[in-house]
Amino acid sequence: MKKLVIAVIASSILGAGLVAIGIGASDRAQAQTQGAAARRVPAGVRPPQTPAQNPACGGDGQPHCPLQQWMEDNVTPAVEAGDAAALGVALTKIATFAPDPSWNTGAVSWRGIAEAAAAKARAGDFRGARASCKQCHEAFRARYRTEFRTRPVPR
Ligand code: HEC
């Protein structure tokens, strides 16, 4: 009788142990499945982005975003033609495009960069005007894309 009781207790402890192991095993299996699913994302596919970072423009197979398109239509031809006067016209317009007035303040200002470059272009200094592209892109492009990418270009 005593032996039987011990056997029952032992087997229930063992059973509980097995259940515990079973739960642990299935959790592990699930975690591995999830991990595998995460790893299954093929190389070269970008991780999901928030809507602000992932507008319906500017990506592979998508139409250009408004300012991106404007630059390609208005600035690229002037640069490719080496046309300082046309570049001056484009830069004068860009100077009015800051999406937020605060971008026109301080030492590195949207309008400041574009107006200085427009003046150089009008004076025939094509190379000087050309330097503003990099200046503005470095200072503002990433931020513009994050915060204002789908904003229409002002007229
Ligand atoms: C005062 C700011 C400013 C100036 C000056 C400026 N750009 Fe841009 N440009 C931008 C911003 C912001 C974008 C990003 C637009 C987007 O991706 O939606 C951009 C995008 C572009 C694009 C589209 C492709 C890309 O790189 O994103 C081209 C082409 C371009 N600019 C050419 C030029 C050239 C050439 C000049 C100089 C002659 C110039 N830009 C000067 C702000 C500027």
Query: Which residue type is seen at 44?
Result: G
Which is higher by pLDDT, 28 or 71? 71
What is the whole-number distance in angstroms between the Cα of residue 71 and the centre of ligand 1? Answer: 6
Closest CA to 71 of 140, 146, 147, 127: 140
Verify whether ligand 1 is closer than 6 Å to residue 148 (CB atom): no
pLDDT above 70 for 126: yes
pTM exceeds cut of 0.85: no
Mutate to test the pocket of ligand 1, among 72, 132, 133 (most ligand atoms within 8 A of CB): 133
Verify whether ligand 1 is closer than 6 Å to residue 113 (CB atom): yes
DSSP classification of residue 82: T
Nearest CA to ligand 1 atom 17: 68
Query: Which residue type is seen at 37?
Result: A
Closest CA to 126 of 84, 68, 88, 91: 84
Pick left, alpha or beta for residue 142 (phi over 0 → left; psi -120 to 50 → alpha; otherwise beta). Answer: alpha
